[in-house]
Each structure stands twice: as structure tokens, then as C-alpha cells.
Amino acid sequence: MRQLTDDLQEPFSYLPYPGRSKISWPENRKVAFWVAPNIEFYELNPPKNPIRTPWPRPNPDITGYSYRDFGNRVGHWRLMEVMDACDVRGSVSLSAAVCDHHPEVIESCVERRWDFFSHGIYNTRYSYGLDRDQERSMIMDSVNTIEQATGQRVRGYLSPALTHTVDQLDLLTELDFWYTCDLFHDDQPQPVNVEQGRLISIPYSLEVNDHFIFNVYGRSAQQYVDILKHSSTNCSRKARTQVPSCASLYTPT
């Protein structure tokens, strides 16, 4: 493990693509594909964070809030219809607050036997600025809330609004999590460096995340469709010609 500073270790080791051990998927499949809907809750006027502001404009930012609230009112229901038609189950990146604010959404996911992993509590309350004990408490609050609402004990974690901290990976192994989606560094599941236990980084592809496609890159809906198709084709091609297989993730919000 490479030490970055006196008290900060690199979260993952360098492992070049050539020469890796082969990953074997069930039934000798070449690509592992999962759809992770981000089901999130944004507050209109959230508590201030000392490091990051929740909205680009002064609170309350009704434009940003309404854009996000649309997903829980309309977007998720439309997405469920499409996924039902394609016989695709979701792996939900869940803000635990949705369990209390919009239980109807959670009930619909449970009916479809979707999986859940924790995305914190609110997507407007960040890990930045929390000490280790506070972050542990926040993570366990999300675990307990989701389990009570869904019956599932979550094993994966994506920090709220991607606010990764230096303590997080070790906290996840301490709390019996199996994987993190916070590192964005590879297109295959990879082990990460932790003090004790074992934790896997699952690919979470920001380059095909709808927020980035529309709001950062400024692409159209049709261009987004083309990007997803090209990404899937490229992943399959690499899996046929290279060792090991490639894992892919698409993340509609």
C-alpha cells in the first residue's frame, strides 16, 4: 500500500489491466450488467455544511429542488415501467430518508424484488465535516432505516452526493459492508485497501451517469442512448478479446 502522506494511505493499489486474474461470471457470461437507479431525497433548505453548499444558488433554490423532486414524483415511476418491460431488476442507490418521506416509492421497489444499497440519508447532507464517530452513526442510521423499510440489510455504500472521506472505507468493513461504489477508478470489481477485513470496489460509471450526460456534458436524450449503446458494445468487445471480463454499470437518476 502506497502512503500518500504521513497519515493518509492510498485507497487502492495499482493493478495494471494486462495479467490480471480472470473474473468468471455465472454461466460464463462476458459482461456483468447492473442498473442502479439513484433514488434520492433533496431538502429545499438543508442544514449548512462547512465545506460544500447543497445548491449552486442561495437557499432555498426552488429550481434545483424541483428538478430533483421530479424524480420521486414522476421519473422513478416511468423508469420502473421501462425496466418492467425489459425484465430488468434495479440495484437501488437509496437515500434512506426516502423511506420516511416517500414510502410508496420504496414499496414499489420491494414489490419488484429490487436490491438496495445505502446512499446515506439525505443527498443534501454530506459526509464532509463529520468526524469518524459521526460518520459511523450516519451510516448505521441508513442501514437500520433501510432494513426496517425493506427487510434487506444493505451491504453496499455510495456516499451521499459522492462525499467520500478518509475514514469511510475502514468504517464500511467495520460495519460489515461488502462493497463500495465511491472510487470510480476501474471497470472491474477490485479490492481496496482497508485496515481490517475485505472490501470490493464495484464500478460506478460516472461517464454514463445521466446527471453528467445532461448537466455537465450537455448531451441530448438521443445522444445519451447512443452513448449507452457504444459503452455496452465496447465493454462486450473487450470481454471477448481481453482477459479478464469487463463489468459495466449504468446509473439513471
User: Structural domain boundaries of the chain?
Assistant: 31-207
Task: Provide the whole-model pTM.
Answer: 0.91
Omega within 30 of 0 (cis) for the link into 252: no
Average pLDDT rounded to a whole number, residues 209-215: 88
Cβ distance 194 to 169 under 8 Å?
yes
Domain boundaries 31-207, corresponding CATH code: 3.20.20.370
User: Is the predicted pLDDT of residue 1 greater than 50, yes or no?
Assistant: no
Q: Return the closest-CA partner of residue 160 out of 208, 205, 121, 215.
A: 121
2: confidence class by pLDDT, cuts 50, 70, 90: very low
Specify which of 28-32, 105-109, 202-206 reaches the highest per-range mean pLDDT.
105-109
User: Is the predicted pLDDT of residue 243 greater than 60, yes or no?
Assistant: no
pLDDT digits (tens, 9 = 90+) for 122-148: 999 999 999 999 999 999 999 999 999
Rounded Cα distance between 49 and 68, Å, is 19
